[in-house]
Amino acid sequence: MAFVPRGKLWVLGVLVCVYLGAPSWSLAQGEKGQAYPATSPGPNDQADQGRFFGPPTTGPISTSGSLPMGKGNFAIQPFWYLTFRGSKFDDDWRTVSAGQDLISLDNALTLYYGVTENLWVTLFVSYYIQNWAYNIQNPQPGEGRTAQVGGTGPVSINLRYRFLKQQRFRPTVTGIFIVGLPTARGDTVSPGTLPAAVSSSRNWGFTWGLNLHRATRPVILYANLWYFMGTMNKREEIIDGGLALVSFNPRDQIKFNLAAEIPLRWTGGPWVLLFEMTSFWEVGAIFSPGPEGNPSHKITTWAAIEYILSPKWRFALGCSFDVIGKNSTKNFTPTFTIYKPIDFFKRRRRRD
């Protein structure tokens, strides 16, 4: 990629080699049901779950999975993110001050449902974000050096369809389509609103791409390659001494993610190591008029530990760190999540 500094290409190179270099003898039979980003094995899959795929993990925290839920399976997964930001990446890929110290608490919930054996739907809701800013270097007129703001976050509907099951010489391949919904209201913001607010979204977003999955004892591998497009968006700008929302044409994004789960015991768990690399690369928009502003890019690494209390209760605790970027924020984000399959719909069908 021409926009990656030459000295940083090894980061992508190593991760790509890890995925592509996995032995091709991984799994010639059996499929467990796996949602994004967690597993939910059906009755016919449980016998082969431990032998072929390892324990029923929580799945990656940010990278998307490829194995379907299974028809009629339902699950919920809450997330709690605590983001710390004190710096950012400038146009030359260097780390500079962000002009403030920011802490964000994001409370999110994901709902999964298996429509058919190969199709499943996901609803992601970031139902509340609270931001606190300290040591603001250039406060707005009449404002101090601290501020806080809260509100709703992004909402998206995700559809996934498995095209190919894993065979001897190929991974599981799943297509994905995501619709991001606008959740913000109003055309202006108060001058006292936190300038770096990340709550809400003001435009429609559309993402499509492919997810890959490959289980090769002792590692479970994931890969995503997506293309994102957004409609006309709004951003905060200072006008007449106050903040206002100004429309602009956003850039498209290429998103490339990798993840690896390493069960410390291939069958039975309960401990699983998780490593991820997520990234986005802004490019010129395909359909909208010429995008405004300089492109942004970022690579983020994740490390986590999973604990599988039982197939019905799975936990993951980890953190992410932005290692390289351009015109983007530099964050450190501890994260905790719980994955819980629910048999409500199955029980109701039996009663009927």
Domain-embedded: residue 232: yes
User: 257, 172, 173, 156: which is closest to 210 by C-alpha?
Assistant: 173
Cα–Cα distance, 88 to 107 (Å, whole number):
23
DSSP helix/strand/coil, 113: strand
Number of domains in the chain: 1
Bridge-based pairing of strands 328-342 and 95-114 is unpaired
**CATH number for 95:** 2.40.160.40
Domain-embedded: residue 192: yes
Domain-embedded: residue 320: yes
Domain-embedded: residue 1: no
What are the average pLDDT values for consecutive 10-residue runs of the chain, which has 352 residues? 46 42 27 34 46 77 91 94 94 92 93 95 92 81 76 91 88 95 68 57 90 91 95 73 73 96 87 97 82 88 95 94 96 96 63 44
pLDDT, position 145: 82
Place of tokens 């976050």: 153
pLDDT, position 197: 52
Quick check: bond before 182 cis, omega within 30?
no
Its pTM stands at: 0.81
pLDDT, position 47: 45
* Spatial CB neighbours of 121, under 8 Å, sequence gap ≥ 6: 112, 113, 115, 157, 158, 159, 160
Backbone angles phi, psi at 290, to 5 degrees: -45, 125
Q: Which residues span the domain enclosing 30?
A: 6-351
Quick check: bond before 334 cis, omega within 30?
no
What is the per-residue DSSP string for 310-333?
Answer: ETTEEEEEEEEEEEEEESEEEEEE
* Spatial CB neighbours of 49, under 8 Å, sequence gap ≥ 6: 32, 41, 55, 56
Instruction: Say which DSSP state 296 is in.
Output: -
Cα–Cα distance, 94 to 348 (Å, whole number):
56
pLDDT, position 149: 79
Residue 211 corresponds to which amino acid? N
Cα–Cα distance, 35 to 121 (Å, whole number):
9
Contact 318, 337 (CB under 8 A): no
| Burial (0-12, 13-18, 19+ Cβ within 10 Å), 344 | exposed
What the block records as the tokens of 352 is: 């009927």
Angle among Cα 322, 327, 328 to the nearest 5 degrees reads: 35
Other C-beta atoms closer than 10 Å to the C-beta of 114 total 22
